[in-house]
Copies of this chain bind each other. A is one copy, B any other.
Amino acid sequence: MRAYEIIKKKRDGGSLDKEEFQFLIRGYLSGEIPDYQMSAFLMAAFLRGLNEEETVSLTDVMLRTGEVLDLTEMDAPRIDKHSTGGVGDKVSIILAPLVAAAGVAVPMISGRGLGHTGGTLDKLESIPGFRTEMSIIDFRHTLWEGGAAIMGQTDDIAPADRRLYALRDVTATVESIPLIASSIMSKKLAEGLNGLVLDVKVGSGAFMKTMEDAEALASVLTNTGNSFGVRTVAVITDMDEPLGRAVGNALEIKECINVLKGRSDNDLLEVTLTLGAWMLYIADWVQRAVDNPGTEVPRITSVDEVALADKRAELEELIETGKALESFVDFVERQGGNPEIIANPGLLPGASQMKQVQVSKSGYIQRVDAEKVGTASMLLGAGRQRLEDGIDHAAGIMLNRKSGAAVQAGDTVAVLHYNDDGNLSEALRLVGEAFEIGPEPPGPRRMIRKVVL
């Protein structure tokens, strides 16, 4: 087998088998196949595509380049939630302790923010003392004790993906549905899961700008997960506008605390409860098979809407009774964070300066463009342009008004939080532009666009 022949086969539209992916990926990791052959292959794969069987093979090969957790010793079903990334998306931070409070184990290996999108690890690290770097042994221990654990990707998990992603990032081969799917799934399938809920974001702030692309990605992701025996459901959710009101790390942690305290009734809660209900639903589905040893867990092909609504109600009750908040306190403490921030969010990093943004005309907010707000937040220091950049945990943007709200010219609609005013004028311009005002109220915003089984 030669790398040249594999590149040529994909270039000419052929399908590769698992042995060919194995040769390519392992050869690349060992240094026998150079970057320039891999990047030619990636461009051929980008333009020619990979079919579902190839995507599963590539995922499998990448998964096996690293450690795969075996958590079968746990009694509770292990269910994770993964988002394809958006602006103001702090759902994982609420969901992990919330779902753990319902008796489901949540082993989450998470990422950092890049460009206009934020990352769960960065948000958590704004909590003083919070550790996201840990060994797999510590991760397992934390999970065992508390039911939820969030850690950063290590070199032990799917190392091929890390190498490939770095190469894709500089060769314009990122935005390929099968390559995105195999990258996500090779990491998620290493978590020793029974089930997985994927939050596929669609809209201006998301990777997938159209429903067509989002549905295609959702379909490849669920098929790949299910073909590995992990019961996988994808929920396509709106990312035309930031999720919730806070964008920026410490600001988002404060919003998470508010949600867990029951002080939220917006889009963020809607997405959180929907995804959480699906996690519990899959956990039950899996548990039924565990309770009947010898039976294989079947793929979910239809939904019991009543059971799903019950799961949502269960999560709402955990919030109302304060059990979710208690679980969050435990979670923060177990990962080394200062639990005092929950009673006293003022202990979180705060910015030295703030600037209000006013709208210049009256009317109804049609939309608050997610990509513009995300980019502005990054420019204020809350995110990074390149992975090696540092970030300012205190910086970010609070949205006072969102789509549907009636505004008068001069109303304050957002507040910028920052310590460094180097890019302030550019950030102000972007946030100003993000607010689209029209004479009529917009149609209702549908947060949950589609569920793909």
Residues of A within 8 A of B (CB): 4, 7-8, 11, 34-40, 42-44, 46-48, 167, 170-173
Which of B37, B48, B172 touches A39 (beta carbons < 8 Å)?
B37
- Chain B positions within 8 Å of A7 at CB level: 43, 171-172
Copies in the assembly, this chain: 2
The dominant DSSP class at the A interface is helix
- Chain B positions within 8 Å of A47 at CB level: 11, 43-44, 47-48
**Taking each of A11, A42, A172, which has the highest tally of chain B beta carbons within 10 Å of its own beta carbon?**
A172
CB distance from A439 to the nearest CB of B (A): 36
CB distance from A44 to the nearest CB of B (A): 5
A11 touches B170 (CB 8 A): no
Which of B4, B35, B167, B170 touches A4 (beta carbons < 8 Å)?
B170
Which of B4, B34, B36, B172 touches A38 (beta carbons < 8 Å)?
B36
Find the B residue at minimum CB distance from A5: B172
Closest 5 CB pairs of A and B: A40-B171, A43-B43, A35-B36, A8-B172, A36-B39
B167 touches A11 (CB 8 A): no
A selection of 14 A-B contacts at a CB cut-off of 8 Å is A4-B172, A7-B43, A11-B172, A11-B173, A34-B35, A35-B36, A36-B36, A36-B167, A37-B171, A40-B42, A40-B43, A40-B172, A43-B44, A47-B47
B170 touches A36 (CB 8 A): yes
A4 to B170, CA, bound (A): 6
A172 to B173, CA, bound (A): 17
A240 to B129, CA, bound (A): 75
- Chain B positions within 8 Å of A48 at CB level: 47
A43 touches B167 (CB 8 A): no
CB distance from A115 to the nearest CB of B (A): 13
